[in-house]
Structure 1
Amino acid sequence: MEPHFTTTPARARTDVRAGTAVRGGPAPISEGGVRRLGLGLAAGTLIWVVTIFLFDPSAGGTAGRIGDLGGLAFQIGLFGLLAVQSRTGATGTSRTSVIMLRTEAVLLALASVWSLLHAILPEAAGDGVLLGVLDLFWPLSMFGMFVISVKLLAARRWRGLLRSWPLVAESWGVVTVPAYVLVGDAASRWVGGGHLLVGYTVLGLLLALRPGDVLPEREAGDS
C-alpha cells in the first residue's frame, strides 16, 4: 500500500474540557478551590492583624511569640494566594512568570521558617546566625509579592477589582517599612495592621466572592 499524504491542516480539538491542564501550562483550579484559598488568606491575615493590635510583637516574651505565630498564619495564607496566582497564570504563562512565582514561594518558605523558629526559640534571635539570615527573607518575600502584583496588573489576566487589588494588598512592605523608619515601631504597628486589614483581608474576600474573575473566561463560564 502506498503511503498517503495530505496538506489539509488538522482540525482543532473541541473535546477538551475547560479546566483541563495544558501541557506546559498552569495546573487547573476550580472556582471552589479559589474560594477556599481566598478564605484561607483572609483568615490568616485576620489572625495576624488581631495579634498586631492586641499584642506588641517588639515587646518580646509571650507577646512576641504570639506575634510570630500570627505572622506564620498570615504566611500560610499567602501560600494559598500564590497557589491561585500560579494555577491561573496570573502573571502570564512565560518561563519568566513561572520562575517569578516559584522564587517567591522559596522566599516565603524561608521567611515562614524564621517565624516558626523565632516563636519557638526567641532567645536565640540575638546571637543566632541562622535566624539572622532567615530574618532577611521576611522583607524580601514581601517585596517579591509587590513585584508580582505589578506583573499581575500588567498581564491583564485577572479581571475587575481582582486585577488591581493585589497591588493594594501587596504594597504592604512598601508602605510599612517607611512607616517604621519615620514614626517608629509603636505607630507603625497600627499602620501595618490597618494596611493588612484593607489589603490582604479584602483580597482574600474578593477571591472568595468573585472566583470567576481570576479564571480564564471560558473556564469561569463553564463551571
Structure 2
Amino acid sequence: MSTNASPPSTRTGLPPAALERPTPDPARLVRLGGLAMAAGALAWAVGTVLTYDVDPAGEAYPVAYKVSSLLFQLGLVALVSVQLRTAATGTGRLARGFLHVEHALLGLAIAASLQWILAPGLSENAFFVALDLFWPLSMLGMAAIGIRIAIAGRWRGAARIWPAIAETWALVMFPAMALVSEEASAFVSAGHLLVGYTALGIILAVRPELTLAHG
C-alpha cells in the first residue's frame, strides 16, 4: 500500500506568473483615460483664460501655460488609448490603424511641446518649426476620429456623440483665430475645451460601460 498522499498534478504547462496574472478591468481603464482627458483639458482651459492677454508676437507664454498644453496632449494620448482598447472606430485594420497614426502624430506634437518648454530658443529652427506642424495636424486627426466614432456606433449614448463635439476644436478654432481678436479666441478655445474634451472625459469616467461591448 502506497503512503504517498500527494495530490494529482495540476500542471498546465504555463509558468506560474501567467496563471496568476490578473485580467485588467476594462471599465477601470476607460475611467482612468477619461479622468486624464478631463484633467488635461481643464488644465489647458484654465491656462488659456489666465493668459488671454498675452501677445504671442511680442511676449513669451509662461511655463505654466506651456505645461498645461502639454497636459492636454497627454490627455489626448490617454483618450486615443481608450479608443484603441474599445475599438471605438471599428474593428477593421484600417480603423484601428488610423488610431495608431494619431498616436504617432500626438507623439510628434508632444516632442514639439517639450522643445517649447525646455528649449524655447530653438523655436525658430527650421526643424522645430516643421515639428510644430504636427500639433494642428494631430488635432485635425482627432476631428476625423470623432466623426468616425459617431458613424461606427460602437460607443453608445453620450459617449458616441460627444467625441464629434469635442474633437471639432480645431475646426472651430482655426476660423475663430482668423475672425476675432486674440483675446476673444482664447475664451472661445477655453469654452470649447470645457464643453468638449472636459465633458467627454467626465462621460468616460462616469459611464465607462457606454464604450464597452454588450456583455
Instruction: Determine if the TM-score, normalized by the shorter chain, exceeds 0.5.
Output: yes
Aligned-pair CA distance for 1:122: 1.6
1:40 aligns with 2:40: no
Aligned to 1:12: none
Which residue in 1 is equivalent to 2:48?
A: 52
Partner-residue secondary structure (3-state), 1:90: coil
Contact 1:149/1:170, CA 8 A, preserved across alignment:
yes
* Residue number in structure 1 paired with 2:92: 94
SS at match of 2:89: coil
Deviation readout 1:143-202 (Å, 9 max, x if unpaired): 000001111111000000100000000000000110001113221111011100100000
CA distance in 1, matches of 2:142, 2:47: 22
Q: Provide the residue aligned with 1:114 in structure 2.
A: 112
1:217 is paired with a residue whose SS is coil
Residues 56-78 of structure 1 deviation map (CA, whole Å, 9 limit, x = unaligned): 462643x3432221110001011
Report the Cα offset of residue 28 of structure 1. 7.5
Counterparts of 2:107 and 2:62, CA distance in 1: 20
Secondary structure, in 3 states, of the residue corresponding to 2:181?
Answer: helix
Is 2:178 the counterpart of 1:181?
yes
**Paired position in structure 2 for 1:169:** 166
Match of 1:221 in 2: none
Q: CA RMSD in A?
A: 1.6
Alpha-carbon deviation of 1:37? Answer: 1.1
Match of residue 212, structure 1, among 206, 209, 213: 209
Output the CA distance in 2 between the equivalents of 1:179 and 1:124: 28
Highest CA radius of gyration, 1 or 2? 2
Q: Does structure 2 retain, via aligned residues, the 8 Å contact 1:38–1:206?
A: yes
Residue 134 of structure 1 corresponds to which residue in structure 2?
131
Contact 1:65–1:118 (CA under 8 A) maintained in structure 2: no
1:75 & 1:41 partners in 2: Cα distance? Answer: 9
Q: Equivalent residue of 1:91, what SS?
A: coil
Cα distance, 1:29 vs structure 2: 5.6
Structure 1 stretch displaced more, 184-193 or 194-203: 184-193
Contact 1:38 1:207 in 2 (8 A): yes
Kept in 2, the 8 Å contact 1:108–1:141? The answer is yes
Structure 1 unmatched ranges of 5 or more: 1-26, 219-223
TM-score, structure 1 length as denominator? 0.81
Unaligned runs of at least 5 residues, structure 2: 1-22
Which residue matches 1:72? 70
C-alpha distance in 2 between matches for 1:64 and 1:217: 46
Q: Distance in 1 between matches of 2:119 and 2:181?
A: 25
Change (3 A) 1:69 1:52: same
Report what 2:148 is aligned to. 151
Between the aligned partners of 1:91 and 1:206, the Cα distance in structure 2 is 18
